Chains A and B, each alone.
Chain A
């Protein structure tokens, strides 16, 4: 092994390690920023300023909150299964970080080119449900149990139309590599798959909001019904990890949406990572906006929506994509 090659970024292992470090840094920083954005948007939607005093315009608020959460006592409820209880938050957070690797930030900054990037993301985000299940069961609390049961049913229901919508786009692009799918689109809106296949875009967005347990689909943690659902019994950093995982998940699905439907890093001019980040933040803003506007759907209405409406529509969309691809290709 050539040591100088190892130190340069041409070596795949170095690239991967640097990429992972970069990903962790990105996730951490973005989660903090996202917390601030959420609280500010929430505030302004509710006709109040949001965090204002800690740092200029409250910018240091998330940092201070993180310090507060770390400083809190970690309480394990009596009778809970300690292994399950403490595995759950770690299991919530760890897989999501892996999902950042295949995201096409910029063609020159790819830590690793995976030709099955899309499958990797879908597989690892499925692990998130397991963590909700463990959290609810391991808490030894009836509220947690109800939250966990709801989370599993919801996740399973919304995986199907999500996969179908993603498959429709992958079929049109002819690849499961996010970099290639992005490259097939152009910088201008009419070249995006979101405009060419708006049904898939709509279905993906709805399923993404449901998969990340965001309002109006936040039943597993429905505050006003289940006290706090699956994370009722968590305090301090345990809760912090769930919180962080939720935001990381949001960024992942926004990244996938930007790559699949909004042309990724491509822009009308100066294509690059900035365009990708801009598009991610637009989708994130939209998701946050939804949370503070709508009430929560009821559980059976949620499942009805998925099985009776989104799945047939997604199947239809997939069939159309097959036909179009067959005719075109």
Chain B
């Protein structure tokens, strides 16, 4: 290998380090960071032979904001809004993971009403995340219409969540010991109306889009992976459920009241992009079932446990795992007894999911790489933190 000579640079350091393969007939292409299909500022260096991908290497860091350093400078509650910015599509799950970790450290017990509300808003958020994923995935594949339909459904959802939390996207609704504010009286009825509406729309999505022969041709057999690969890379969520293993944190490590709720874990054995697609579409139905159960049985009571204004958890460490839309989110907090955390580690599911991409993309066509990236459901700010 030649010594790295920065004066002979063509392109930047990442491109220079991505050496071309043995023959000169290969095309080195930079997909991103500005590209319609990379879902955020992701850059993928590709070595192509015609349209076949020989090597793929993602380059990260274009939206790295050093959240873990910010955590050490702020008090525990001051850091909560950052959780909404890590994965803006499933902000409630990150809220929950962080609040849960701190509650474990402090020994705060969350009242029952707050637990029910937490489940309801997190599942609503999961639906909005999956709808956006679905629309964006089909946009990548060239169908310009489903995203409009998905966003129409999402608007209703966002209106519900706006009345509850005040935000449309980057929620910061959880507090240590419960939730920040109570839900309005119309919450249950609006949720149920939305559940009915989306349930009536899902068959149309299936007939028009999922059963479309062109879509099946673009997704079936693409990006096949098995459970062993997922385990060794740490890929969780629909990645591993689409490969046949029914691993869902809500069932494996129940948190909140998930242990007492009835819901199905969709699993498909094929391991390709179509299986992951079907897992997420079925998860929409699962989330609707959960919301229905939770919202019809909302108990009365306080919405947050009493906690001091500036929380000082006793020394120790705790982590909390939550099933996010993309996979298992784990927030790990180490406390030294002071008002600011000593160390916060954010385990993003997308980080591990994207690392499998290098293996999945080898030998596929460029169009398939786009399809695989879409089936990974990436949100780059979560990966870069």
Interface positions of A (Cβ within 8 A of B): 42, 45-48, 142-143, 145-146, 149, 215-216, 218, 222-225, 227, 291-301
Beta-carbon contact of B214 and A299 below 8 Å: no
30 A-B pairs (CB sep. < 8 Å): A46-B145, A46-B148, A46-B149, A47-B148, A142-B27, A142-B29, A146-B366, A215-B142, A216-B214, A218-B142, A222-B142, A223-B142, A224-B36, A224-B142, A224-B370, A225-B367, A227-B35, A227-B36, A293-B143, A293-B145, A295-B143, A295-B212, A295-B215, A296-B141, A296-B367, A297-B214, A298-B217, A299-B51, A299-B367, A300-B365
A47 to B215, CA, bound (A): 21
Beta-carbon contact of B145 and A224 below 8 Å: no
Beta-carbon contact of B365 and A295 below 8 Å: no
B213: shortest Cβ distance to chain A, in Å?
A: 9
Beta-carbon contact of A298 and B143 below 8 Å: no
**Chain A residues with CB below 8 A from B208, complex form:** 293
Known contacts A47-B152, A48-B148, A298-B368; A224/B140 CB under 8 A: yes
B295: shortest Cβ distance to chain A, in Å?
A: 27
Known contacts A47-B149, A297-B217, A298-B218; A216/B365 CB under 8 A: no
B144 in the interface (beta carbon within 8 A) = yes
A294 to B35, CA, bound (A): 22
**Chain A residues with CB below 8 A from B122, complex form:** none
User: What 1/0 flags go to B115-139 for Cβ under 8 Å of A?
Assistant: 0000000000000000000000011
Q: How many A-B residue pairs have CB under 8 A?
A: 76
A295 to B208, CA, bound (A): 11
B170 in the interface (beta carbon within 8 A) = no
User: What 1/0 flags go to B207-231 for Cβ under 8 Å of A?
Assistant: 0100010110110000000000000
B372: shortest Cβ distance to chain A, in Å?
A: 12
Beta-carbon contact of B214 and A296 below 8 Å: yes
**Chain A residues with CB below 8 A from B217, complex form:** 297-298, 301
**Chain A residues with CB below 8 A from B142, complex form:** 215-216, 218, 222-224, 294-296
A216 to B208, CA, bound (A): 15
Interface positions of B (Cβ within 8 A of A): 27, 29, 35-37, 50-51, 138-145, 148-149, 152, 208, 212, 214-215, 217-218, 365-368, 370
Known contacts A142-B29, A299-B51; A42/B367 CB under 8 A: no
Beta-carbon contact of B37 and A225 below 8 Å: yes
A111: shortest Cβ distance to chain B, in Å?
A: 38
The winner among B144, B149, B208, B212 for most chain A CB atoms within 10 A is B144
Beta-carbon contact of B365 and A299 below 8 Å: yes
Question: Assuming A47-B148, A294-B142, A295-B212, what are 17 further A-B pairs, CB within 8 angstroms?
Answer: A42-B144, A46-B148, A142-B27, A142-B29, A143-B29, A149-B50, A215-B142, A222-B367, A223-B36, A223-B142, A224-B37, A224-B141, A225-B367, A225-B370, A227-B36, A299-B365, A301-B217
Beta-carbon contact of A295 and B37 below 8 Å: no
A218 to B143, CA, bound (A): 11
* Least CB separation from B148: chain A residue: A46
* Least CB separation from A215: chain B residue: B142
A297 to B368, CA, bound (A): 11
A298 to B214, CA, bound (A): 9
A45 to B208, CA, bound (A): 13
Beta-carbon contact of B36 and A292 below 8 Å: no
A142 to B35, CA, bound (A): 14
A91: shortest Cβ distance to chain B, in Å?
A: 25
A59 to B149, CA, bound (A): 25
Beta-carbon contact of A295 and B51 below 8 Å: no
A48 to B144, CA, bound (A): 13
**Chain B residues with CB below 8 A from A42, complex form:** 144
A141: shortest Cβ distance to chain B, in Å?
A: 10
Beta-carbon contact of A46 and B214 below 8 Å: no
Beta-carbon contact of A294 and B212 below 8 Å: yes
**Chain B residues with CB below 8 A from A291, complex form:** 144
B136: shortest Cβ distance to chain A, in Å?
A: 10
Q: Kindly list the 6 A-B residue pairs having the minimum CB-CB distance in the complex, ordered from nearest.
A: A296-B142, A46-B148, A295-B143, A295-B141, A224-B140, A295-B142
**Chain B residues with CB below 8 A from A215, complex form:** 142
* Least CB separation from A145: chain B residue: B27
**Chain B residues with CB below 8 A from A297, complex form:** 214, 217-218
A319 to B141, CA, bound (A): 37
Beta-carbon contact of B139 and A224 below 8 Å: yes
A136: shortest Cβ distance to chain B, in Å?
A: 13
**Chain B residues with CB below 8 A from A223, complex form:** 36, 142
**Chain A residues with CB below 8 A from B152, complex form:** 47
A60: shortest Cβ distance to chain B, in Å?
A: 24
A227 to B152, CA, bound (A): 26
* Least CB separation from B136: chain A residue: A224
**Chain A residues with CB below 8 A from B50, complex form:** 149
**Chain A residues with CB below 8 A from B368, complex form:** 298
A328 to B152, CA, bound (A): 57
B123: shortest Cβ distance to chain A, in Å?
A: 25
B38: shortest Cβ distance to chain A, in Å?
A: 10
Known contacts A146-B51, A295-B138, A295-B218; A46/B367 CB under 8 A: no
A27 to B145, CA, bound (A): 29
A286: shortest Cβ distance to chain B, in Å?
A: 16
Beta-carbon contact of B214 and A295 below 8 Å: yes
**Chain A residues with CB below 8 A from B138, complex form:** 295
Beta-carbon contact of A46 and B366 below 8 Å: no
**Chain B residues with CB below 8 A from A222, complex form:** 142, 367
* Least CB separation from A218: chain B residue: B142
Contact of B365 among A46, A48, A224, A298 (CB under 8 A): A298
B215: shortest Cβ distance to chain A, in Å?
A: 5
B265: shortest Cβ distance to chain A, in Å?
A: 28
* Least CB separation from B141: chain A residue: A295
A146 to B141, CA, bound (A): 17
**Chain A residues with CB below 8 A from B145, complex form:** 45-46, 292-293
A300 to B214, CA, bound (A): 12
**Chain A residues with CB below 8 A from B214, complex form:** 216, 294-297
